[in-house]
Amino acid sequence: MHMKEKGQKIQQYVVLNRFPFIQGLLYYVEQSSTDETSSSTTRFILALDVSSFPPGSDITSLLQRNSQVFFPIEQIFIEDGVVYQVFEKMEGTLFAFYLQKAGPLPLGEVLQLLRNTCEHLYLLKENKHWTIIHPENMCLGSKHQVRFFLGGPVELFSSTELNESESLHQLASTVYTMLTGKWVKQDETVESIRNFRKDVPLELENLLMRSLSPDPSRRPVLQDLLKWVRQANPNTPLQLVAETPPTKVDQHKKVESQPISPKPVKTKKPFTKQRLAITVGGCIALLVTVAFVVTYFFSGGDKVNANTTQAKQAATLYQESKQAVKDKQLNQAIEKADKAIQTDPKEEYYLHLANLYKATQRNDKSIETLKKGTEKFPESPSMFYELSSQAFFNKDYDIAKDAIQKAITLSDGKLSGYFYLRGRIENQMREYDKAIQSLTKAIELRKDVPNYYHERAIASFRNSKLDEAIKDEMVAIQQNPTQGKYDLTLGIIYLEKREEVQKSPSLVANVKLQQMNQWAQKALDAFKEAANDSPKDPDVQYYRSVAHYYCKEYDSALTAINLAVQLNPENALYHYQKGIVQLTTNKKADATQSFTKAVQLEPNSALYQQALQQVKP
């Protein structure tokens, strides 16, 4: 698998750093600002070689992972033979870093983490999902909830169900490190836990030491460990379900004439990277060998030789195309990729060529290539899903909607993530009633997905169904209370309710004022929660300033908007808001400077020009 260097791009993401992972590579990237976001955002991306997955795998099924067990994936795509999983904005800490800094951990904390992980294992086994339990693969949330990065349906990672015995060994190794600060090494005798920690109960030590036995037959079953940890720590709340294929949400509804744009800122042997490569590689080699023999005897050897030659030629052209990309010869890369498709059409070649067209800002050609890919692979729902995702990215919403509808049909309407994407597309097309229907279907298929409720709240908000929007956003917050964008959106809806009251002709003045103040306070409370989760999101600070202003807390309003300007000084709206606060507090000279800056950034804005004219002498 080719490794991206610092400064290179993975689609719209620029690599800031990379880290070796238990499988593949983990990239830390930055997404540059676009017209849909007001500042750059950072993400983690897990890169896995496409050969790590069985041939014909539907990698989009990773979007259906349980979001309480796995860290949510925002986007999946294939580029140059590599499967990239873009995770949502990090809410928590990489557990390996935390353990290195804070370990050994207190017994109470270990018991909470152990129970949480055991419950996850139980769900994984029940739902036929797989993961590796290792500190590098774990994210620790604000309430000490554990989630995994790598993993998903067993058919993508293993030919069998989750190996309970091996998972218990992995879990016991991790817990051993939590308690002792020592790492369990293969083929070395493991020293008793109570030699380091006298506070560890004998029953727990016995279960852990048995789980660390090199003989799988001597290890306990998951139910034994789960039963003990539930009894020992009965008050720990269970976090069991919430499946989600979360993706970035953009909003455009205006509040006080301002746009909404919140962002999120196996086997019986121990699993190893080498073993995965051997296992998957061996399966692929066996399938290729069988296919060769069958085709040779039933179709004729000459035809096989010709097909093999064409496949080799196409593979060579594909590698030459990738090399041309490294050499920054994109036109040559496009030519080679196009020839590879003509010689031996493969799904990854179509995706590679489409990405090259996208990199050269030839978006129409990118869509055209993916359309041809769907014609070549007309029964592949994931190919249509990729076409829809790319078209959505390019704002070709008609194409995106047709493609996702085809993907839904091919998948028998069983994948909630497909309905979720259709709802997002319909939201952008301002078909809000249809968007609500699509997202309702997604929720029917997967009821514990906070992003589904969040997106439906946006559709209801834009459709002026504010009470329904509030209900959905509160469900999203209840399911994932640490996701700042949910609190941000809820606060924006509350501001719209305030405006609704302000425009009401049926309310008497004192009642109207009282209700306006109530909605402003609700909005402020929501924005404060959002600021706790995303303190460096300038939009959060902007809206917090607006709410403080409505609550007549002008010093706090100025503090918040100053922070927003500091985080993103090129946003004209922030300077305008700053000017409004300054003008209200009789700082006319400062307000003039702020309005002037807003006009400089957006000279065609009548709102900013009018504000500047009002303060000019």
Per-residue pLDDT of 356-407, as tens digits, reads 887 787 888 888 888 998 998 888 887 788 888 888 888 889 999 999 999 9
From start to end of 252-400, where are the E strands?
A: 254-255, 258-259
What pLDDT shows up at residue 522?
96
Q: Which of 422, 595, 486 is nearest to 263 (CA)?
A: 486
User: Where do the CATH 1.10.510.10 domains begin and end in the chain?
Assistant: 93-231
Token pair 């994109």 in the structure block, residue: 330
Using the structure block, give the residue that is written with the tokens 């507090």.
585
In contact, 148 and 138? CB cutoff 8 Å: yes
Q: Averaged in consecutive runs of 10 residues, what is the pLDDT profile of the chain (617 residues)?
A: 81 85 86 52 87 76 83 86 87 82 86 89 84 89 83 74 81 92 80 87 88 84 84 47 30 33 31 34 33 35 57 86 81 89 84 80 85 88 82 88 92 86 94 96 88 94 95 92 89 95 92 95 95 88 96 96 93 94 94 95 92 87
| E strand or H helix at 488 | helix 484-503
The pLDDT tens digits of the residues spanning 86-122 come to 998 877 788 888 888 887 889 888 998 998 898 888 8
Of 3.30.2130.10, 3.30.200.20, 3.30.360.10, 3.40.47.10, the CATH number of 8-87 is 3.30.200.20
Task: Tell me whether the omega of the peptide bond preceding residue 104 falls within 30 degrees of 0, making it cis.
Answer: yes
Residues of each domain in the chain carrying CATH 3.30.200.20: 8-87
Q: Cα-atom radius of gyration of the chain, to the nearest Å?
A: 27
Judge contact between 283 and 155, C-beta under 8 A.
no
What distance in Å separates the CA atoms of residue 581 and residue 602, rounded to the nearest whole number? 19
What CA–CA distance (Å, rounded) separates 407 from 361?
A: 26
Cα–Cα distances in angstroms (integers) from residue 116 to residues 96, 125, 138, 147, 522, in the given order: 17, 14, 12, 9, 33
Q: Where in the chain is the domain with CATH 1.25.40.10?
A: 314-411
Q: Which CATH class is domain 93-231?
A: mainly alpha
- Residue 92 is given by DSSP the state S
| CATH number assigned to the domain covering 314-411 | 1.25.40.10
